[in-house]
Amino acid sequence: MNRRGESISSDVRQLHRELLAVACQAARAGAAIAAEFFGRGVEVEFKRDGSEVSAADRAAEAACVAAIRAARPHDPLIAEEAVSAGTGAAAGDSDAGTAAVVWAIDPIDGTRNFVRGIPLYACSVGALFEGVPVAGAIMDPSRDVLYSASLGEGAFLNGAPLRVVDGDERTLLAAIPSKSRDRARVIVHHWVDRLVIRNFGSSALHLAMVAAGQLDAVLATDARLWDIAAGAVLIEAAGGRVSAPDGSAIFPFDVRSYNGGEIPTLAAGPLTHARLVRPGMP
């Protein structure tokens, strides 16, 4: 069953499996390039939003794109560095607004960690079908760990099945954003006062850790589509819930109008998610 309670046909399952195979290949390719650069003291530039970027990010993104292009040459791509550079989506032969399958790529999620030699970063590749993430892979090269999932097929960590957890409210371990923004600051302060808090510097890894039961919840107020696409599949496939902090749906997502804006995200096991939703919050 999918998250809408509808059965997934065998044809759709097969498409999901095919997309997952490509996502895994692309995530491994991007992570391998990133690992080659790691610890070499790469030169850092600053993007328009103030975040950091290096030659490693661009090279890893190129490897991800090449892997996807080899298997599915006509699918549009929404890749972080292409969007951040002002070139928009790296579109294929089909426009992102009309194509059924669109890819969201973050070649190095956790660039600030990466450029400082902190081995907490990942390559995230997600496939959306009609605006819904259906397959994704998050590769952590420092630990040689691949989180992967597709709707209808489950979520896995290096091949072992994953399941979210719903822990005791008194001991919930939750990841918060590096910065608290606008009205979301209220949620961050609420969590800091009541939960056990972590931040590992990578939204993709935070989401993967929730799917793996390593974290109970994650709040990502400054996430972009490429940060959450693969992680959303992991959590949904592992039995969890993904939404905006107020509980409203993020997906299906209108990729036609997306320009790299923030997508505030709350993800957790179903019971924990219900506890943490804050109606009226962004």
pLDDT on residue 50 = 62
* Domain end position, chosen among 117, 144, 161: 161
Shared domain for 121 and 196, answered yes or no, is no
Shared domain for 154 and 255, answered yes or no, is no
* 2 located within any domain: no
Shared domain for 30 and 130, answered yes or no, is yes
Residues 179-238 pLDDT 10s: 766 667 888 888 988 899 999 999 999 999 999 999 999 999 889 999 999 999 999 999
* Domain end position, chosen among 161, 194, 218: 161
Please give the single-letter amino acid code of residue 77.
L
CA distance 133 to 104: 9
For 146-177, b/e burial (b = at least 16 CB within 10 A) is bbbbbbbbebbbeeeebebbbbeeeebbbbbb
Residue 93, pLDDT > 50, answer: no
Among the residue ranges 28-32, 85-89, 237-241, 244-248, the one predicted with the least confidence is 85-89
Total domain count for the chain?
2
The whole domain housing 100 covers 10-161
226 forms beta bridges with none
* 3 located within any domain: no
> Domain with 223 in it: what CATH number?
3.40.190.80
* Domain end position, chosen among 106, 131, 161: 161
Nearest to 201 by CA among 139, 279, 116: 116
Nearest to 33 by CA among 12, 2, 64: 64
* 60 located within any domain: yes
* 236 located within any domain: yes
Residues 252-281 pLDDT 10s: 999 988 988 999 999 999 999 999 998 755
CA distance 249 to 271: 17
